[in-house]
Amino acid sequence: MTAAVIEPVDGAGAGTRDRVLDLAQRYGVYAALAVLIAVATAMNTDFMSASNWRVQLFQAAPTVLVALGMALVIGTEGVDLSVGATIALAASIIPLYIGYGPAPAIVLALLLGAAAGAVGGSMVAFAGVQPIVATLSLMIGLRGLAELLNGAAAKPVADTTILNLGEQNVAGVPLMAWIALAATGAVAYTVRRTTFGRQLVAIGDNKRASLLAGLPVRRVLVTVYVLSGVLSALAGVLIVGHGAEADPANQGLNMELSAITAVVVGGTPLAGGRVRVLGTVAGAMFMQLASAVLIQHNVPTSTTQIVEAVLICLAVYVSRERGTR
Amino acid sequence: MSVRTPRTLAPVPAPPPREGAEGLLETPRERWIRRAERRGPLVVLVAVCAAATAASPSDASWSDVSTILGNNAFVWLLALGMTFVITTGGIDLSVGSLYALGGVLAARGSAHGPWLAIVLPLAVCAAWGAVQGLLVAYGGMAPFIVTLAGLLGARGLLQALTNQGSTTYLVPAGSWFRHLGAGTWVPVGIVAVLFAAGWVLMERTGYGATLTAIGGNQDSAVLLGLPVARAKVLVYLLSGTLAGAAGALGGARLGSGVTTIGVGYELTAIAAVVIGGTLLTGGYGTIGGTVCGVLLLAVIHHLIDRYLSQYGSAMTDAVNGAFLAVVVLAQALLERSRRR
């Protein structure tokens, strides 16, 4: 891995345990994913079938998109709780504007996602509001707004372009998954190879030092939340296409939790200053496959939730700042 | 920490501190800012109530007030616990799940006697909170994530207890446990006593001062020799216990354990605390402000129900979100102009 950031040199006191934890943080998610796939295949030979993988990719693609945006936000030591509500907002826009054709409706949904991100980002960057609160207020407000726009019940969406986005396979792989893959490539390139990516990581590592070094801190922060909003809105469009309906009351619920989990399990520290893009994708896939395997073996959802909670705790324990109390 | 322009970060000698805790060296402008921060929620609450009463005098009728108070009173306990947690600079996302868990445990315990109905939810939720506190204080893990896992785990435990929600536990009809949640006066009385105790704990004890110190600057608190880790464990234990108590009393009011209840309550609690003027960065918590915060949200909810009921809860959410955004922006800007 060509890290864009020089890894912090551990103090002389860094023991074997810390080194093991470091490795676990960086590569644990891939190992866990491999073990999970191996175990699932051993227990159920249908697990490796193309049809099963297609189902899993359809399920995971929107989460991957949202988690990519979340990884960028968490890289700047922020958090974006408004992603689920942004999905709902994008979903509510589609049936309203589909009369003008699919392209304007999709563009408008993405623009609204960007606007939502810009509002949250501006609160964080210009007013100095804590990311959790700024995006919490958006999370509550935007879902209410989406439900107001949409009316009480779910609205069916029958536009072929939107349905294709959500249901089409290209070369045997869901179109959604290709979109998520393209987004992954773009985000990975941004983080590793662009000035913006380096600035983002620097700000997450030490905001004050970044300011003193003359980095455009506010602009970068707003951009990060805008990206998160756009990616969430895109996920919202895909979810509408996959379900053939817009249901802002239920679409995107708990998505912020899934996305944060994917990012944390993927080895991105919550304290910012580092973004693991591929790890985030692996984390999202791991959580999706784990819940799918448990459901396939008729494990009740309660157990699934408890397993998820334990996994989150494990991931955070491994990635916590060591040597501090 | 807020982002400031490079201009203000130029390496000039720091101005002498003019923190007016004792009214010492405080300019009149700073004093007004401080008053706005401290008394703002109360002023807004009184203004909203006065406007609503003026718009429709019948609104101030006793039945409306008792509706606002009786139905929501127990949920306010989540905000009380949250105030303590946020004062230390932490956050507790698990309270909504613990509220539901407390209700189910109370209903389940009530079959074996009213005392068990009280002890069981308190014990389980206190233990849950304590484990979260241990992970935060001694594991060095982020409160946001620990309590997020707690939210999921407690919900899972709740589902397991009720066989995925298919089993409903009822409180026996003759049990005196039901009286704890009935009517308006008993719930409001219980909640008022707990809030009063919370105020004493925050304002008049060393423990409250320790919590504030941790939120202000944890490293300094450690160097001062304050029992930081212990205080943090206790604060999550307290928050969990209050959530469990709220759930148990809610179960007594409803007469059964409802598994689907409590989703998103943690967000309402955080919103109430922030609107009340407690700083999310920690270091300043106000119980009185939280009281104003929960009452404000309840009144807004009630008014929307009354005048905009055709839009339902969506309008409440939209207004609450906008309201919270305005409040945190105002807080941030006041804070900034004070520092200038």
Give SS3 for A154: coil
Point out the residues of chain B with pLDDT beneath 70: 1-26, 57-62, 174, 338-340
pLDDT value at residue B24: 57
Average pLDDT, chain B: 82
Distance (Å, whole) CA A38 – CA A49: 13
The alpha carbon of residue B171 is apart from the nearest alpha carbon of chain A, in Å, by 24
- Which backbone phi and psi does B47 adopt, to 5 degrees? -65, -45
> Do the chains contact at B229 and A138, CB–CB below 8 Å?
no
Burial class (CB in 10 A: 0-12, 13-18, 19+), B171: buried
The pLDDT, as a whole number, for residue B254 is 82
Compute the nearest-CA separation of A4 from chain B (Å).
Answer: 24
How many Å apart are CA B130 and CA B241, to the nearest integer? 9
Q: Which residue of B has its CA nearest to A146?
A: B314
pLDDT exceeding 90 applies to what percent of chain A? 49
Smallest Cα–Cα separation from A224: which of A89, A108, A75? A75
The pLDDT of residue A219? 96
Q: Residue A187: what pLDDT? A: 96
pLDDT at A323: 40
Minimal Cβ distance to A305: which of B3, B146, B156 = B156
Chain B residue at shortest CA distance from A321: B140
Give the per-residue pLDDT at B27.
75
What stretches in chain A show pLDDT beneath 50? 1-3, 5, 7, 9-12, 323-325
Distance CA A258, CA A66 (A): 9
**How many CB atoms neighbour CB B229 within 10 A?**
16
C-beta atoms of A127 and B329 within 8 A: yes
- Return d(Cα B7, Cα A223) in angstroms, integer: 22
Q: Which two tokens stand for residue A24?
A: 């676990």
**pLDDT of the residue at A171:** 87
